[in-house]
Amino acid sequence: MRIIGGQWRGLHLAEVGAGDPTAHLRPTSDRVREAIFNLLVNGGYDDPVTDARVLDLFAGTGALGLEALSRGAASLTLVDDGTAARSLIARNIALCHTTARLLRHDATRLPLSPDAPFGLVFLDPPYGKGLGEAALLSARKGNWLAPDALIVWEEGAALLPPAGFDLLDQRRYGDTVVTILRNAP
């Protein structure tokens, strides 16, 4: 696993191997991460990455959020409640020689946001458990999402967006379906 583009392009992140099923760690492959950022940059979204405040829910390894920082995002907040994940994220932040906020929260039961809302959100829950929708609704209720925030949601199957979110794009990459939503204020 490595950073695909930006200032840290080619930097290898901490090894996870095939993931940690007991900790629900299933890293986004380099290929899927590259496809996501190509969609964001070339999808007509007015460069949602540069200078963005980025939120990475179910952050796992932190690779998606760190990729955004590498490509010019202004700040990054990572949320995960798993001990193994938070340890891995901390190692990856250190490898990038950067700062990011790492919060221990259940993404489906977020408190009120301690910061301004986020404009770009990565959502990569354990597949097939219905946690993505719960996390989106929790993030909206807790004021984590900016009006018109762009959400990149990874799942194992195509899903319809919850009420209040507009579907912008949806593509399959192997066993991963990437859905791009907009928070409809």
Q: pLDDT tens across 44-53, in order?
A: 788 899 999 9
CATH number of 21-183: 3.40.50.150
> What sign results for the dihedral spanned by CA atoms 118, 113, 152, 60?
positive
**Residue 180, beta-bridge partner list:** 152, 169
Q: Which residues does 129 contact at the CB level (< 8 Å), separation at least 6? A: none
Contact 84, 26 (CB under 8 A): no
Q: List the beta strands (DSSP E) in 43-175.
A: 53-57, 75-79, 101-103, 118-123, 145-155, 165-173
Residue type, 154: E
The tokens of 73 are what?
A: 């995002």
Confidence of residue 17 (pLDDT cuts 50, 70, 90): low
Over the stretch 170-185, which tens digit does the pLDDT of each residue have? 999 988 999 999 999 7
Domain ranges of the chain: 21-183
Over the stretch 76-97, which tens digit does the pLDDT of each residue have? 999 999 888 899 999 999 999 9
Q: Which helix (H) or strand (E) holds 179?
A: strand 176-183
| pTM score | 0.92
